[in-house]
């Protein structure tokens, strides 16, 4: 989620969740305000709405007016069984300044409204504080909203890494 600057119309701050210390994976790390695995038989849109209600206590009315599909991010990582490729459906959620996510299911210790400059600094200087795939989604947001652009020295590499190639059948 994000909040827009009324003067410029650009995102001014990003809502992030700090994962609960009781979570078995990535406890205490920065994360999106809502995310989850994709169940069979449920559309991406249905799933993201369900997760936003469950994890961030956001109303269906806010979601119907503010939630927008924004593409896909894919990445690869090594496991004991070999190379794994994952794809994440990405959504933008522009929230009014007077709407605050709140913990709905115990998976988040706190929600933080982080200014965009701080998001960029944190990703550059404090990457270990981020859940890895959440950092990718945040970088994708920065690219799509013009905070990282073609004049940045690492732009080509960044944009390529956000769209890992699909694995080829063996």
Which residues on neighbouring strands pair with residue 11, listed in sequence order?
Answer: 4
Q: Residue 63 to residues 42, 57, 137: CA-CA distances in angstroms?
A: 17, 11, 19
Q: Give pLDDT, residue 164.
A: 75
Q: Which residues contact 129 (CB under 8 A, 6 or more apart)?
A: 29, 30, 122
Residue 160's pLDDT band, with cuts at 50, 70 and 90, is: confident
Q: Tokens 């080509």 sit at which residue?
A: 156
As a whole number, mean pLDDT of residues 36-46 equals: 92
How far from chain centre, in Å, is Cα 120?
14
The average confidence (pLDDT) of the chain is 93
Q: How confident is the model at residue 9 (pLDDT cuts 50, 70, 90)?
A: very high
pLDDT of res. 166: 61
For range 134-153, the mean pLDDT:
96
170/145: higher pLDDT: 145
Q: How far is CA 78 from CA 85, 86, 166, in A?
A: 9, 11, 15
pTM exceeding 0.75: yes
d(CA 144, CA 55): 25
Fold category of 2-161 in CATH: Nucleoside Triphosphate Pyrophosphohydrolase (3.90.79)
CB contact at 8 A, 47 and 39: yes
Does the pLDDT at position 2 exceed 70? yes
Count the helices and strands in the chain (H runs, E runs): 5, 6
84 DSSP β-pair partners: 77
pLDDT of residue 45: 93
Task: Check whether 11 has a pLDDT greater than 70.
Answer: yes
The pLDDT value recorded for residue 170 is 38
Check residue 161 and give its pLDDT: 86
Whether residue 113 has pLDDT greater than 70 = yes
Give Rg (Cα) of the chain.
Answer: 16
């Amino acid at each position: 989620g994000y909040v827009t600057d009324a003067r410029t119309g650009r995102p001014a701050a990003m809502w992030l969740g700090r994962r609960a210390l009781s979570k078995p994976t990535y406890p205490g790390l920065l994360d999106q305000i809502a995310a989850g695995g994709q169940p069979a038989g449920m559309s991406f849109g249905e799933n993201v709405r369900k997760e936003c209600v469950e994890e961030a206590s956001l109303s269906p009315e806010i979601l119907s007016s503010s939630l927008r599909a924004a593409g896909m991010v894919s990445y690869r990582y090594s496991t004991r069984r070999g190379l794994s490729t994952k794809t994440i459906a990405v959504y933008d959620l522009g929230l009014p300044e007077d709407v605050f996510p709140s913990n709905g299911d115990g998976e988040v210790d706190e929600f933080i409204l982080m200014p965009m400059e701080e998001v960029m600094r944190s990703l550059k200087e404090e990457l270990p504080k981020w859940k890895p795939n959440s950092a990718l989604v945040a970088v994708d947001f920065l690219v799509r909203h013009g905070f990282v652009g073609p004049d940045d020295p690492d732009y080509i590499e960044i944009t390529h890494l956000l769209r890992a190639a699909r694995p080829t059948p063996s």
